[in-house]
Structure 1
């Protein structure tokens, strides 16, 4: 067995010296392939981490944003449904304010946003 190891160690450097040097095209292809593999691994890890991070935080569908309507650069009207009740909210840099509770009126269930807004004025 030691003789075989000595023979293999003596033989392999000779085969390495006999190998042709890689061409520029093969070096570029190997580098591109390695870059694609690394980028793919990074994207896969990113996707898995986002899935794991947000898995426990999102508990259900109790709050639904029906429509957002920007009024000015820093203020928005939002029509939001929370557990079957609809609310009209004003969102600005000063905070979030309840403008109207639309759940008490049964006729508002099938109206569109502009009609609801006109009724509240």
Structure 2
């Protein structure tokens, strides 16, 4: 999208220069080129700013106040991640890889705990099941 806008601007300027030259007006190419580049930089800056704001979700109403909340994310290895998620009255520990997702543990929601404590409790529960 940005590349198309840049190419369109260049084509417009390339088309306009011969037209202005045919009218016999004195062309000051350096100041005109700087104005075009400054305008292009402003437009590209605005597009990138809007992209960053929309990606965060700050302009989408209700996106932050939903029922699903990601409490914490831990990256274990490339493309292997743990998510601590609360949904209504449940807290879930979800493990993901490139192939699938799996719920590793779930329990009733409590006041926010340290992720390390939750992970340690889950490991203790798993160790108790193995015995």
Into which bin does the TM-score normalised by the smaller protein fall? 0.5 to 0.7
| 1:92 and 2:92 aligned | no
- Runs of 5+ in structure 1 lacking a partner? 1-15
Corresponding pairs, count: 95
Residue 119 (structure 1) shift: 0.9
TM-score by length of 1: 0.56
Residue 35 (structure 1) shift: 3.0
* Corresponding residue number in structure 1 for 2:84: 79
Give, in whole Å, the separation in 1 of the partners of 2:114 and 2:33.
Answer: 58
Aligned to 1:102, what secondary structure does the other structure show?
strand
Measured against aligned partners, the alpha-carbon deviations of 1:54-74 in whole angstroms (never above 9, x if no partner) come to: 959x59511111111112212
- Runs of 5+ in structure 2 lacking a partner? 1-22, 124-131
The two structures, once aligned, show a CA RMSD in angstroms of: 3.6
Which of 32, 37, 59 is the aligned partner of 1:32? 37
| 1:116 and 2:118 aligned | yes
Which of 89, 101, 106 is the aligned partner of 1:101? 106
* Corresponding residue number in structure 2 for 1:43: 47
Evaluate the alpha carbon distance shift between residue 70 and residue 32 of structure 1 in structure 2; reply closer, same or farther with a 3 A threshold. Answer: closer
Evaluate the alpha carbon distance shift between residue 82 and residue 26 of structure 1 in structure 2; reply closer, same or farther with a 3 A threshold. Answer: same
